[in-house]
Amino acid sequence: MDLGRIRNFSIIAHIDHGKSTLADRILELTKTVSGREMRAQVLDTMELERERGITIKAQAVRVNWKDNELNLIDTPGHVDFTYEVSRSLQACEGAVLVVDAAQGVEAQTVANAYLAIENNLEIVPVVNKIDLPQADPDGAAAELAELVGGKQEDVLRISAKTGEGVAEVLDAIVERIHSPSGEPAAASRALVFDSSYDQYRGVVAFVRMVDGAFAAGEPLQAMAQGTRFEAEEVGFFSPTMKAAETLGAGEVGYVITGLKDVSRLRVGDTLTTEANRASEPLPGYKDVKPMVFAGLFPTDSDDYPDLRDALERLKLNDAALFYEPETSQALGFGFRCGFLGLLHMEIVRERLEREFDLDLLVTAPNVAYRVLERNGEWLEVHNPAEMPRELDAVEEPYVRASIIVPKDYVGPVMELNNDRRGRFDHMEYLSPERVLLAYELPLAEIVLDYYDQLKSRTRGYASFDYDVAGFREGALARVDILIGDEPVDALSMIVHRDAAYARGKALVERLRKEIPRQYFDVAVQAAIGSRVIARETVKAKRKDVLAKCYGGDISRKRKLLEKQKAGKRRMKQVGAVEVPQEAFLAVLNLNDGKK
């Protein structure tokens, strides 16, 4: 295909602003799928995506419009997946930015628009859902033009639902977005912007050919990782897999690698041919740094190998997922997992539970910390239990948060942000009614229940987005929980000094209620270093025996005893103290707080 007739683009939008519906209409209008095949939201293949109304993984579909080859590259909709979004955007020359005519610009619209601009993409602004009775296309168009720095008359007005204006969107893609600028004759280079795993065919890489071409059967190499393999098949999606003889410069398609080891091909890497190796990889490959960490433990310890396999499988499609084995005295064997953000964590958990049928305990999440040790070295800590007790300084990640709310809710949001150690940056009126608040917040303050709080204080009207701004020093303390003088690794937490007392006290009180009484008094304490900040006592029991036991009572009594015995077997030993798993679950389980 002539490079001049190729257009590679993405659709970016805030959740529920109509990205998937627009994609469906494009497939219909270009006759890529027949009406009969048409399934709502064809591109969102995964069950989970359907339910949550979000798209996790990018895919690319080729459509033809007026003799042009258009490659629609789908992107995840949430900022947690910034890295994936930017990989996908790197495969494009333009982006269709969709805004709901009734909702206007939202926090994610802003974040996505900035990402597209950073990637030098041509933006085609579109106001969607103009058919809705409450639509305000003029208002939304004004906000959108303001955001992308364009003219209001350049903003297209459509209804993806009815199909109105969709043809004009396709025309605009051809007219406004420039064609790819690769070198068909140069040494071949392709960007891996996504991958997936097929149990029969191995790793399937989604690539954007930049220079040169790949042919089926050609030996290839991943430049960053050095992995070598043969391209068993190349082709494109339209919308199902269609094999082709070659993938040429500027095109988007797939390469079946036959690789069975999921870790050997990473998103962001550059593929080249063995025969004509490129000297330089394409820019952009980086190891993404997870910022939010939590322990994942199988509820049934027998499931540990299954959890390990499942994480390995997920990691293939999710370059950002990090995990390493973790052993907790309280919870047994599991993994400490790193996530880009809260939504990412939630999605991974749900996929593990649904697709792999695992029953999981997820500990309360914490962020990554940078610690300056006494020996002058910086250490990154992902688990409060690993935080050195002796240190010179601790840094925690901060985020730049954008919160868009109707103006009446500015007060409650500011109050919330102050409580969460937020630093006010600025405020903008997007329209007379809607305000954008920009804050810097410690990531640790938003990983627990910030979003729920924000929603409840704004009656659900707030939209919220953030990106990581970097590490800042904080007055942080490691709080240890001791049961009968034994520190419990899984319960250590890192909290701001001002909150340490309240958090320690709350946890200790909760534990006191959860730990059954023992043969002796058990102290439950929260401590910073050697200083105890909260203490409760589980009083020793004085009596535990059934009074009556005669000839007719023996069987009943024995069964009660067996039950008591079975209960004891499920206990975890913390020093001399027996603590039921449930006690840990009650204070640790993230799921608990939500249900």
Partner 1 sequence: MIPRPFGSEQVPAFEESPSDALVVRHLYVHLPFCAHRCGYCDFVTVVGRRGQHAAYVDALLAEFELERGLLAPELETVFLGGGTPTFTEPRELERLLAVLPDAAEVTVEANPETVTSALAALLRRHGVSRVSLGAQTFRPELLGVLDRVAGPDDVRRSFYHLRDAGFDNISLDLIYGIPGQRPSDLAADIEEALALRPEHLSCYELEAKPGTRFTHAHGEELRRQAEALEGYFESVVERLVAAGYRWYETANFCRAALADADGRDLRSRHNLAYWRGRDYLGLGIGAVSTIGGERWRTTPRLGPYLAALREDRLPPRELEPLPESVQREERVMLGLRLDEPLPVATVAGALDEKALARLERLGLAQLVPLGPQHARGALTLTPRGRLLGDAVTADLLA
Q: Tell me: does residue 561 bind partner 1 (CB under 8 A).
A: yes
The residue among 180, 202, 205 whose CA lies nearest residue 192 is 205
**Token pair 């024995």: residue:** 558
H-run or E-run covering 516: none
Q: Which two tokens stand for residue 217?
A: 């059967």
Among positions 389, 548, 594, 595, the unique one binding partner 1 when judged by CB under 8 A: 548
DSSP letter at 340 equals S
Rounded distance, CA 99 to CA 102, Å? 9
Shortest gap between Cβ of 538 and partner 1 (angstroms)? Answer: 12
The residue among 187, 168, 180, 149 whose CA lies nearest residue 65 is 168
Burial label, 568 (beta-carbon count in 10 A; 0-12, 13-18, 19+):
exposed
Q: Tell me: does residue 40 bind partner 1 (CB under 8 A).
A: no
135-164 positions binding partner 1, by CB under 8 A: none
Note whether 202 and 229 are within 8 A (CB).
no
Note whether 540 and 533 are within 8 A (CB).
no
192-221 footprint of partner 1 as x/- string (CB under 8 A): ------------------------------
Among positions 133, 375, 545, 594, the unique one binding partner 1 when judged by CB under 8 A: 545
Q: Tell me: does residue 275 bind partner 1 (CB under 8 A).
A: no
* Cβ-based nearer residue to partner 1, 443 or 579: 579
Shortest gap between Cβ of 546 and partner 1 (angstroms)? Answer: 6
Q: Please tell me the count of residues contacting partner 1 according to CB under 8 A.
A: 24
Note whether 283 and 227 are within 8 A (CB).
no
Among positions 66, 178, 541, 570, the unique one binding partner 1 when judged by CB under 8 A: 541
- The residues facing 235 across adjacent strands are 243, 254
Among positions 36, 426, 543, 595, the unique one binding partner 1 when judged by CB under 8 A: 543
* Cβ-based nearer residue to partner 1, 475 or 561: 561
Shortest gap between Cβ of 540 and partner 1 (angstroms)? Answer: 9
What DSSP string runs through 295-334?
EEEESSGGGHHHHHHHHHHHHHH-TT-EEEEEEETTTEEE
Q: Tell me: does residue 552 bind partner 1 (CB under 8 A).
A: yes
Shortest gap between Cβ of 544 and partner 1 (angstroms)? Answer: 4
Shortest gap between Cβ of 342 and partner 1 (angstroms)? Answer: 40
Shortest gap between Cβ of 583 and partner 1 (angstroms)? Answer: 17
Which of the ranges 238-246, 312-320, 390-398, 561-569 carries the binding residues for partner 1, by CB under 8 A? 561-569
Dihedral sign of CA atoms 233, 235, 236, 239 in order: negative
507-526 footprint of partner 1 as x/- string (CB under 8 A): ------------xx------
Q: Tell me: does residue 424 bind partner 1 (CB under 8 A).
A: no
Note whether 435 and 404 are within 8 A (CB).
yes
Among positions 226, 432, 544, 595, the unique one binding partner 1 when judged by CB under 8 A: 544
The residue among 403, 405, 402 whose CA lies nearest residue 459 is 405
Burial label, 552 (beta-carbon count in 10 A; 0-12, 13-18, 19+):
exposed
| Phi, psi values for residue 388, rounded to 5° | -65, 145
The residue among 466, 442, 464 whose CA lies nearest residue 453 is 464
Shortest gap between Cβ of 520 and partner 1 (angstroms)? Answer: 7
Q: Which two tokens stand for residue 364?
A: 């309360």
* Cβ-based nearer residue to partner 1, 242 or 541: 541
Which of the ranges 84-92, 274-282, 330-338, 564-572 carries the binding residues for partner 1, by CB under 8 A? 564-572
* Cβ-based nearer residue to partner 1, 475 or 554: 554
Q: Tell me: does residue 475 bind partner 1 (CB under 8 A).
A: no
Q: Is the peptide bond before 239 cis (omega within 30 degrees of 0)?
A: yes
Q: Tell me: does residue 502 bind partner 1 (CB under 8 A).
A: no
Among positions 240, 276, 418, 564, the unique one binding partner 1 when judged by CB under 8 A: 564
Shortest gap between Cβ of 551 and partner 1 (angstroms)? Answer: 5
Q: Tell me: does residue 560 bind partner 1 (CB under 8 A).
A: yes
* Cβ-based nearer residue to partner 1, 531 or 569: 569
Among positions 557, 580, 581, 586, the unique one binding partner 1 when judged by CB under 8 A: 557
- The residues facing 73 across adjacent strands are 10, 60
Rounded distance, CA 413 to CA 456, Å? 10
Among positions 36, 426, 531, 542, the unique one binding partner 1 when judged by CB under 8 A: 542
Which of the ranges 180-188, 431-439, 529-537, 540-548 carries the binding residues for partner 1, by CB under 8 A? 540-548
Q: Tell me: does residue 550 bind partner 1 (CB under 8 A).
A: yes
Shortest gap between Cβ of 585 and partner 1 (angstroms)? Answer: 22
Q: Tell me: does residue 554 bind partner 1 (CB under 8 A).
A: yes
Q: Tell me: does residue 549 bind partner 1 (CB under 8 A).
A: yes
Shortest gap between Cβ of 513 and partner 1 (angstroms)? Answer: 14
The residue among 100, 80, 74, 104 whose CA lies nearest residue 16 is 100
* Cβ-based nearer residue to partner 1, 45 or 518: 518
* Cβ-based nearer residue to partner 1, 243 or 546: 546
Which of the ranges 93-101, 190-198, 439-447, 563-571 carries the binding residues for partner 1, by CB under 8 A? 563-571
The residue among 195, 187, 240, 194 whose CA lies nearest residue 214 is 187
Q: Which two tokens stand for residue 179?
A: 């064609």
The residue among 516, 512, 517, 444 whose CA lies nearest residue 482 is 512
**Token pair 């497939």: residue:** 27
Q: Tell me: does residue 559 bind partner 1 (CB under 8 A).
A: no
Q: Tell me: does residue 546 bind partner 1 (CB under 8 A).
A: yes
Q: Which two tokens stand for residue 7?
A: 């257009």
Q: Which two tokens stand for residue 18?
A: 């109509």
Q: Are strands 241-244 and 233-237 parallel, antiparallel or unpaired?
A: antiparallel
Tell me which residues touch partner 1 (CB under 8 A).
519-520, 541-552, 554-555, 557-558, 560-561, 564-565, 568, 576
